[in-house]
Amino acid sequence: MDVNTVLHYDNEQVKTLLLTGNFGLEKESLRLTPDGYMSHTLHPFPDDKHIVRDFCENQTEINTPVATSPEEAIEMLTHYTREIQQKLVELPDPEILWPFSNPAYILNENDIPVAQFTGGYASKTDYREYLSNRYGRYKMVLSGIHINYSFSDELIQADFELSGYDSLQNYKNALYLSLAERAAAYAWIMTAITAASPLMDSSYVEKGRMGHTTFNGMASTRCSEMGYWNYFAPVLNYSSVQAYADSILHYVQEGMLAAPTELYYPIRLKPRGLNRLVTLFNEGVDHIELRMVDLNPFEISGLDLKDLKFAQLLLVWLACTPSEPFNVKDQVQAVQNFKNAAHYDLKTVKIVPPAGRVCSVADASLDVIERMKSFYRDFPKDIQEVLEFQKMKFIDPETRYAWIIRKQFAYQFVEQGLYLAKQKQKEILKDDHHV
């Protein structure tokens, strides 16, 4: 299979369809008591398939339906956030939704109740207990947003007819495999532009010591060395779906992972429906997932529309650019690039782009954005505005979310965070517009 499959963007029909696609968002948030402690009530949405639990019982996760535009996706995220907030204020003991990726107060491990599944789903609790023992419960409460994206059927069909492939699914697999490889090399920029978790309460790093604000030099704790990573740098095979699945399965067979889902990699290729390797192999790739986005506490939905638009622009641009060499050394470096992009000062930390020179994350980001601006020069003006918005984050770091948060919440992270959380709760419930 050709791992250098790219979209024929110079074809007029393909070009008009380039930015047609599908979005699905996953957002994790912690439920807290009004004074900033972990909620110990049961998940209050047992029958809503769009509002589930992640690691712990009080970590709600929104899974939106599929949207066909960034705007619709954000509307859906806002809708389900409102549903959660409405339920929380109606509880016998009202709760709030914590708007940050980093948690508020943590008393100890028992303060983080592992999600309880029963009956045929009991293995989900067993798996969470395994993760708890392997990585520690504290790390598991770091929350964020995953962006799932697929090209529209119309775009896939139009490009397939130009591709020379005899099978539509084989073509789709090749396109997404090539994209995943490119995203592994360049999607660290998504970490850099959405990082919003520079501060945490002292109780996260020192058991029982609460109420002191801690800064660890990171802009995104969950994407940094302190966050969600395996104890090895995975090397994946992008030459075919079989090879890709086998390269993940290899780590399970070697005992380095308990299950494929334990692969904490910022990019995933996923099938339609349940995320299983056997489904991926049998039915092929349906979409790509970006897993490195922090919660934006300033947005009611938790995600800025311009950041979601940038994610689409990045993936489309990558799908239109030929692959560069991406060997074992490059893949190991790529993992480090993601971690480095999570640092606070991107002008001091370095990155090594594929086939590129060592440079600061800020300079590498500006280079990527300039290349994207050139690629999209004939597209509508609002695209350039999104790219300019992101460019400013690397020219003036004080416009980055992490810098703003550190400035505004530096002395009383949890206390000020609680004020913001209650403000956001009132704000979203005051809005009578329902999606």
Rounded Cα–Cα distance for residues 212 and 105 (Å) = 10
> What's the pTM value of the predicted model, to 2 decimals?
0.96
Contact at 8 Å (CB) between 270 and 292?
no
Contact at 8 Å (CB) between 133 and 55?
no
Q: What are the backbone dihedrals phi and psi of residue 424, each rounded to the nearest 5 degrees, phi first?
A: -65, -35
Rounded Cα–Cα distance for residues 406 and 215 (Å) = 8
> Which has the closest alpha carbon to 421: 30, 8, 25?
30
Q: What is the pLDDT of residue 4?
A: 65
Q: Does domain 12-428 have CATH number 3.40.50.10140?
A: no
Q: What is the pLDDT of residue 434?
A: 46
Could you tell me if residue 289 is left (phi over 0), alpha (psi between -120 and 50 degrees) or otherwise beta?
A: beta
The Cα-based distances of 319 to 5, 8, 151, 191, 285 in angstroms read 8, 9, 10, 19, 15
Angle at 310 between CA 391 and CA 339, to 5 degrees: 75
Q: What is the pLDDT of residue 257?
A: 94
Rounded Cα–Cα distance for residues 315 and 258 (Å) = 30
Rounded Cα–Cα distance for residues 241 and 243 (Å) = 5
What residue type is assigned to position 296 of the chain? Answer: N
Q: What is the pLDDT of residue 323?
A: 85
pLDDT in tens, the chain (435 residues): 444 689 999 999 999 999 999 999 999 999 999 999 999 999 999 989 999 998 899 999 999 999 999 999 999 999 999 999 999 999 999 999 999 999 999 999 999 999 988 888 888 899 898 998 899 899 999 999 999 999 999 999 999 999 999 999 999 999 999 999 999 999 999 999 999 999 999 999 999 899 999 999 999 999 999 998 999 999 999 999 999 999 999 999 999 999 999 999 999 999 998 778 889 989 999 999 999 999 999 999 999 999 999 999 999 999 999 988 899 999 999 999 999 999 999 999 999 987 778 999 999 999 999 999 999 999 999 999 999 999 999 999 999 999 999 999 999 999 999 999 999 999 999 965 544
Alpha carbons within 13 angstroms on the beta-carbon side of residue 308 total 29
Q: What is the pLDDT of residue 392?
A: 98
The Cα-based distances of 229 to 139, 226, 251 in angstroms read 10, 8, 14
Contact at 8 Å (CB) between 2 and 153?
no
Rounded Cα–Cα distance for residues 282 and 91 (Å) = 44
Contact at 8 Å (CB) between 351 and 188?
yes
Q: What is the pLDDT of residue 2?
A: 47
- The tokens describing 90, both together, are 């109606």
Rounded Cα–Cα distance for residues 270 and 276 (Å) = 8
> Which has the closest alpha carbon to 424: 91, 90, 88, 146?
88
Domain spans in the chain, listed from the N-terminal domain onward:
12-428
Q: What is the pLDDT of residue 432?
A: 55
- The tokens describing 38, both together, are 């972990």
- The tokens describing 304, both together, are 């800025």
